[in-house]
Chains A and B, each alone.
Chain A
Amino acid sequence: MATTNVPYERAFIFSAAIRIFHWLRALSILVLVITGFYIAWPFLVAPSNSDVLVQGWVRFAHLIFGFVLCAITLARAYLFFFSKSDIERRSFKDVTSVNSWIVQLKSYLWMGHLDKKGVYGPLQFVTYFAVSVIAALICITGLALYANVYHLGLGGMLADMAAWLTGAMGGLAQVRIWHHYFTWVFIIFVVIHVYMAVWTGIRFKHNSVDSIVSGYDYHPKKH
């Protein structure tokens, strides 16, 4: 059997912090979407004992994971700018380069390689940036809704800002409905994100899905 030896190398692309945050964020998005839809339309039948707070516990989970998402959104924004490795920041050079856009878009249409300076292609970078902005918005609207749920502690401290946002958005119903619309951005994003991650791994000789688990990208040596 003839085998060809292709020299491979591996590159460490995702730090432990990035990987942990990625999966924590994935978990919180999953829990938040499920509990969020439950809160919007409660479908479980109440137990015979009204001491069991079904809605209360679902809301509890939603709030806890909401805070987790807020924390990750902040930490991840910090890491983007101040992480020791500049592998994410380097991608910004691709965003400002028309040529890089053409290279990436062509590579998505089965034409040519996926060459990039950092870890993300320009379209990918812009998409992640947009999702991060939506994450910030869903956190902010979520906190404004939360300030109406609990009036002491953190909720009390947020009250004035929540009132300002409610006024600016034209009422709490608007805050609520935008919070609901933003959820759909995440649902659509997750479907495309998983598809693209798998497809990239099949199409190009690069690690794709497992690099966010192991942190390593295996690929043929450039010659």
Chain B
Amino acid sequence: MDTHAALYQQGQARLEELRRLAPRHAQTLQDKMEEHGITRRDFMKWSAAVTAMLALPLPFSTLVAEAAELADRVPLIWLHMAECTGCSESLVRADTPNLDSLIFDHVSLEYHETLMAAAGWQAEENLEHALEAYKGNYLLAVEGAIPTANNGAFLTVGCKGHTGLEIIHHAAEGAAAIISVGTCASFGGVQAAAPNPTGAKGVDKVVNKTVVNLGGCPPSEKNIVGTLMYFIMFGKLPALDMFNRPKWAYGARVHDNCERRGRFDAGEFVEQFGDEGAKEGYCLYKVGCKGPYTYNNCPTERFNHHTSWPVLAGHGCMGCSEPNFWDDMADFEKPLGRQLLHGLDATADTVGAVILGATAVGIGAHAVASVFANSKED
């Protein structure tokens, strides 16, 4: 039996298991789709697209379709740490609800601070209940970095004043799988930028379990939903890269599939924003594109219903899905090789100090040496 056949059977077994569980919503996915005017044909197209995106062969599209319908059997707990909610926005803020946002709605979302009606003590009770009732079964999604300095005191959430660190330790214990949604949860993000006074860290640095990192500020809705679908379908995590990012999404660099790549190889570069090259759609490398150092599928999946992405809009990639990107990728509008020239005067000052220092040492050494020196050996 080849690996695909084995994976297919694993998926079937997993879905059979899920089907035996009680649905958490009264409405089926089909009802919801009809309500939103999404046709069966749209659904089939979506299933095939997700299958292709996950790099699975086409027969798996029936599994994807089944998994979407059974998404309401999988409890999902979504925690907000030190973050801006942009990742949730990426997922839910669609002008017309499409299947990606609908699936997110259909998943048995037990707790999500942005989307829940409850507040205060009631919200706290919901979280505690969900963590207890679905222990060992729930999927934990985390948005935002975990401040660790002063024992995590820089982030407290809820009426009981638990620190983010405490909440994440407690929630991670009973999780079937953990997904870090966005660069902050994955690698610390802007909160962890130097000098990082709050000691902000990615989730995988504070828990002892494998965490799937979905880098991106924000990650595209496709990468979030694709990862959810993979877990629902197979009950396990997809193949991961060196930073625990799913290979199907982060397997290639932005540079590799960029629509402006031909311009790069031809040496056609935008010299400054607004010039003739910019109007012609030339390569943005010289105005700081970090696509060559960034692993993501932005050029193929894009954002906002596949509408656009930064390079298409005329600004270089700033490497937002990479670890430590805020420090490593700055300046965003200059190439990496120019990083030494952050500040003109500061750089001139360093160069000046080195030149003058070397001169002083040189004069001193020569003066001392000339006392003893014979220009030629005897």
Which residues of A pack against B, CB within 8 Å?
Answer: 37, 40-42, 44, 46-47, 50-56, 58, 109-111, 113, 148, 163-164, 166-167, 170-177, 180, 202-205
Beyond the given A53-B265, A173-B328, please list 17 additional residue pairs across the A-B interface where CB-CB is below 8 A. A40-B335, A40-B337, A46-B268, A52-B266, A55-B265, A109-B369, A109-B372, A148-B256, A163-B242, A164-B242, A167-B242, A170-B323, A172-B322, A173-B293, A174-B324, A174-B328, A176-B293
Closest chain B residue, CB of each to CB of A177: B336
Which of A53, A164, A177 touches B267 (beta carbons < 8 Å)? A53
Q: Tell me the smallest distance from the CB of B166 to a CB of chain A, in Å.
A: 28
Interface residue count for B (Cβ, 8 Å)? 41
Please give, as numbers and ranges, the residues of chain A lying within 8 Å of B242 by CB-CB distance. 163-164, 166-167
Whether the pair B323, A46 counts as a contact (CB closer than 8 A) is no
Known A110-B374, A164-B242, A172-B293; judge A42-B336 contact (CB<8 A): no
User: Is B158 an interface residue when CB atoms closer than 8 A count as contact?
Assistant: no
Please give, as numbers and ranges, the residues of chain B lying within 8 Å of A175 by CB-CB distance. 293
> Complex formed: what's the CA distance from A113 to B285 in Å?
54
Please give, as numbers and ranges, the residues of chain A lying within 8 Å of B66 by CB-CB distance. none
Of residues 241 to 272 in B, which have CB atoms within 8 Å of A's CB atoms? 241-243, 253, 256, 262-269
Please give, as numbers and ranges, the residues of chain A lying within 8 Å of B372 by CB-CB distance. 109-111
User: Is B338 an interface residue when CB atoms closer than 8 A count as contact?
Assistant: yes
Known A109-B369, A164-B242; judge A205-B266 contact (CB<8 A): no
Q: List 23 A-B contacts (CB under 8 A).
A: A40-B335, A40-B336, A42-B286, A44-B267, A46-B268, A50-B262, A53-B266, A55-B266, A110-B373, A113-B377, A148-B292, A164-B242, A167-B242, A170-B328, A171-B325, A172-B253, A172-B294, A173-B293, A173-B294, A173-B319, A174-B328, A177-B328, A205-B377
Whether the pair A171, B264 counts as a contact (CB closer than 8 A) is no
Q: Tell me the smallest distance from the CB of A133 to a CB of chain B, in Å.
A: 23
> Complex formed: what's the CA distance from A44 to B375 in Å?
47
> Complex formed: what's the CA distance from A113 to B374 in Å?
12
User: Is B329 an interface residue when CB atoms closer than 8 A count as contact?
Assistant: yes
> Complex formed: what's the CA distance from A142 to B229 in Å?
37
Whether the pair B267, A42 counts as a contact (CB closer than 8 A) is yes
> Complex formed: what's the CA distance from A177 to B267 in Å?
21
> Complex formed: what's the CA distance from A218 to B31 in Å?
95
Q: Which 10 A-B pairs have the closest CB atoms?
A: A54-B267, A167-B242, A40-B337, A110-B373, A173-B293, A172-B293, A56-B265, A50-B266, A46-B268, A46-B267
User: Is B295 an interface residue when CB atoms closer than 8 A count as contact?
Assistant: yes
Which of A41, A53, A166 touches B337 (beta carbons < 8 Å)? A41
> Complex formed: what's the CA distance from A45 to B328 in Å?
29
Whether the pair B268, A177 counts as a contact (CB closer than 8 A) is no
Whether the pair B324, A42 counts as a contact (CB closer than 8 A) is no
Please give, as numbers and ranges, the residues of chain B lying within 8 Å of A203 by CB-CB distance. 376-377
Closest chain B residue, CB of each to CB of A167: B242
Please give, as numbers and ranges, the residues of chain B lying within 8 Å of A110 by CB-CB distance. 369, 372-375
User: Is B290 an interface residue when CB atoms closer than 8 A count as contact?
Assistant: yes
Q: Tell me the smallest distance from the CB of A144 to a CB of chain B, in Å.
A: 11
Closest chain A residue, CB of each to CB of B324: A170
Closest chain B residue, CB of each to CB of A106: B372
> Complex formed: what's the CA distance from A37 to B337 in Å?
8
Q: Tell me the smallest distance from the CB of B130 to a CB of chain A, in Å.
A: 34
Please give, as numbers and ranges, the residues of chain B lying within 8 Å of A109 by CB-CB distance. 365, 368-369, 372-373
Please give, as numbers and ranges, the residues of chain A lying within 8 Å of B290 by CB-CB distance. 173
